[in-house]
Structure 1
Amino acid sequence: MGLTVISFILGTTAELIKIAPVYHGIAERGVRPKIWFTAQHVDEVADALADLNLPEPDVWLVPKDQARNLESPAQVPGWGAQVLRTAWSRRHELRAALAEDGRPPLVLVHGDTFTTPYGSLIGKRILKARVGHIEAGQRSGSIMSPLPEELNRKLTAKIADLHFAPTELEVGNLRHARGVVVNTEANTAIDAMRLAINQPLDVPDLPEKFGLATLHRFELLSRPDKYREALEILREQSREMPILYMAGAPEREKIRSLGLDHLFDDRFIVRPKMRYLKFLPLVARAEYVVTDSGGLAAECYYLGLPCAVHRERTETPQHLGETVVLTEMRADKLQDFLATYPNRRGESWMDKYHPADIVVNSLAQLGYC
């Protein structure tokens, strides 16, 4: 009897990054996992696949010639309908791909993007597979913050059969979930970081010392007063030390529409977003980070790098402390962090945790690889 086929349903470059160590761990066990891609992100996918030594997706759930970056909530209904329509129309082919032996097939999803509940729903209802959720159980405690991530997680928890939770806190959040809950001890981001952290740093005109900022979430960009306030604070701080603001297309468009271009100069420097294997060595060189990305906040925690999480709530409170600070989107808390960051550097956890190994070993014990 052959081994069960495992498919990842993914849609973003961040998901590709965080499942890469799991994918390779499964492949080392003799199983060739499949990647079925929903195309939330498109522009950087080829580069991410090459950097992470991952193959081209086996299936595009939005046809590749029609795929475009999902950049606003208004695009979600049409995109979601296309994903479900493709999965339904190709259901016999996808079921056959998962049915190479008599054991229940498995679909794995990751995190809290729109793809997470959609992939879970496709796996369970359309493909009749078991569903495993990696990075499960994170909760902020408010369905509205962050929106839609908190809702995506809670919906996925109702569907999944296997829950891979980063710490005991998330295990506790899943105490009422059905199925198997596994504590992976950390986020698989730490394994992905090991792939990237020592890559060469190729950034022209990089200041000797600098702060780093990424502010991109809908929760912030949809509130012009808060977005403007944060940028103005960073602009003021950049008079003391240069700050690199890594901005994607939606942020640059928001800056233009709000008339905030004048805030940027040779001290408060706006740069395009970078590929992960290029970006993480830059993070490691920064003096501090200001972000609204939960993933980047976790990476700063593992590195011991001072980080301000500019959000009202976080789904990973276990990372908070002296090194990682939640600003609650308040100006005074952000300013306090910027005044005190030199004293906030913590210890690195890079050599302590290996969550991808725990995921793969658990799947092996359950007979999947």
Structure 2
Amino acid sequence: MQRPLVTFVLGTRPEAIKLSPLIIAFKASEKVQTRVILTGQHIEMVTQVTNIFNIKEDFNLNLMQHGQSLTFITNSILNGLDAEFSKNKPQFILVQGDTTTAFAGALAAFYKNIPIGHVEAGLRTGSLDNPFPEEANRRLISQISTLHFAPTKNAYLNLINSGINKENIQITGNTVVDALKIIAEKDLKNKCNEIYSGGDYLILLTVHRRENWGENLKNIIIAIKKIVQFHTNISIVLPMHKNKIVRDILKNELGENPKVILTETLPYDQLISVMKKSYFIITDSGGIQEEAPTLAKPVLVIRETTERTESIEAKTSKLIGTNPDNIFKEVSELILNKTKYQKMAKAINPYGDGNSSKRILSHCLNFLKI
């Protein structure tokens, strides 16, 4: 009897991080065949991650173009996966999160009548266009998925409230904790020193999301300049996203500031090393909101909304928006108020125990009746 084929579709760095431990678990199983398809939505940023986890793709759509639009990405993935699924039709596909790759991958499978598993299902902000287009993507994926792997109880309840049959939802924890456990077993001692080995308090800052382009980014930069001018014992490491809309203004405004260390996008293991050395983190990243509690690092979220409500409720992170005065106030409080800092650092991680991949594999095998 031929083993059923399970295909993973991924295209961005966050997907690669969160699907890598799951791909490893599936490849270790003798009950299924596994195929890994990259869309090319991101290129270097994805292969940095897959190389760390020793994962080789079976096929790459290589769709990435300079200045690519959401329409171009979606159309290219649909066309590419139509041909892929015709040639190598899986019995099940897995997508992760809320990217355009995840949405188009799920839609391509739906058109071929292929069952879909949605990893990290059920995240919601309640605002359809914030973040854009991610909130719409994840809602749309939920409507056509077969199995929904919710990372938390809140995500489970969001799916129930969306009309999803509870029999098709499993609470699994978040696979990002699995990824962190794998990386934590590696020797990371010198990874941060390649970026920063000074004596100041170190803050990691990441900013890249579409809703923070333009005026919001300018406001964040105003706050950063004020922070490093006022708090002379602080240095900031800022890995720059590949998107020129973000990196050009960061270089122009912060490139000559001795207290701000601009770097290229960091390989995942090096990013984790910097996170471990950081005093706390300022970010608009969803993944870092999940990773930081595992490392006992407080997070200030420079967004107006977040779908990671569990970390807000657990007080491991705080939503502070992009007003420069408010960013300065919140950062200063964490630097100066040790009691507040310790409460955030010692809060319990709400995102799982590192066994999410095993649970998802088990549920998929049950669905496939093997």
Match of 1:118 in 2: 104
- State the identity %: 23
CA 1:145–1:87 in structure 2 vs 1: closer, same or farther (change >3 Å)? Answer: same
Quote the Cα distance in structure 1 between the aligned partners of 2:108 and 2:247: 37
Structure 2 counterparts to residues 190-269 of structure 1, below 5 A: 190-197=177-184, 198-200=186-188, 201-202=190-191, 203-204=193-194, 205-208=196-199, 209-221=201-213, 223-224=214-215, 226-239=216-229, 240=231, 241-250=234-243, 253-254=245-246, 256=248, 260-261=252-253, 264-269=256-261
What is the one-letter code of the residue matched to 2:222?
E
Whether the 8 Å contact between 2:208 and 2:246 is mirrored in structure 1 is: no
Quote the Cα distance in structure 1 between the aligned partners of 2:44 and 2:309: 32
Quote the Cα distance in structure 1 between the aligned partners of 2:179 and 2:225: 32
Whether the 8 Å contact between 2:315 and 2:347 is mirrored in structure 1 is: no
Q: Cα deviations across residues 92-129 of structure 1 (Å, max 9, x unaligned)?
A: 3122xx2xxxxxx101100010011101111121x321
Whether the 8 Å contact between 1:303 and 1:348 is mirrored in structure 2 is: no
Q: Cα deviations across residues 189-231 of structure 1 (Å, max 9, x unaligned)?
A: 000011223532334343233111001111101x32x211111
Shift of 1:85: 1.9
Any idea what SS the aligned residue of 1:44 has? helix
Match of 1:154 in 2: 139
Quote the Cα distance in structure 1 between the aligned partners of 2:250 and 2:316: 32
CA 1:283–1:362 in structure 2 vs 1: closer, same or farther (change >3 Å)? Answer: same
Match of 2:7 in 1: 7
Structure 1 length-normalised TM: 0.87
Among residues 65, 68, 74, which one is paired with 2:64 in the alignment?
Answer: 68
Q: Cα deviations across residues 207-256 of structure 1 (Å, max 9, x unaligned)?
A: 233111001111101x32x21111121122223211111112325x5453
Greater CA drift, 303-312 or 85-94: 85-94
CA 1:109–1:352 in structure 2 vs 1: closer, same or farther (change >3 Å)? Answer: closer
Match of 2:55 in 1: 54
Residue 163 (1) aligns with residue 148 (2):
yes
What is the one-letter code of the residue matched to 2:360?
V
Residue 338 (1) aligns with residue 331 (2):
yes
Residue 29 (1) aligns with residue 14 (2):
no
Structure 2 length-normalised TM: 0.87
Whether the 8 Å contact between 2:115 and 2:145 is mirrored in structure 1 is: yes
Match of 1:326 in 2: 319
Quote the Cα distance in structure 2 between the aligned partners of 1:274 and 1:263: 17
- In the alignment, structure 1 segments of 5+ residues that lack a partner are 99-104
Whether the 8 Å contact between 1:137 and 1:173 is mirrored in structure 2 is: yes
Quote the Cα distance in structure 2 between the aligned partners of 1:238 and 1:258: 15
Quote the Cα distance in structure 2 between the aligned partners of 1:267 and 1:357: 43
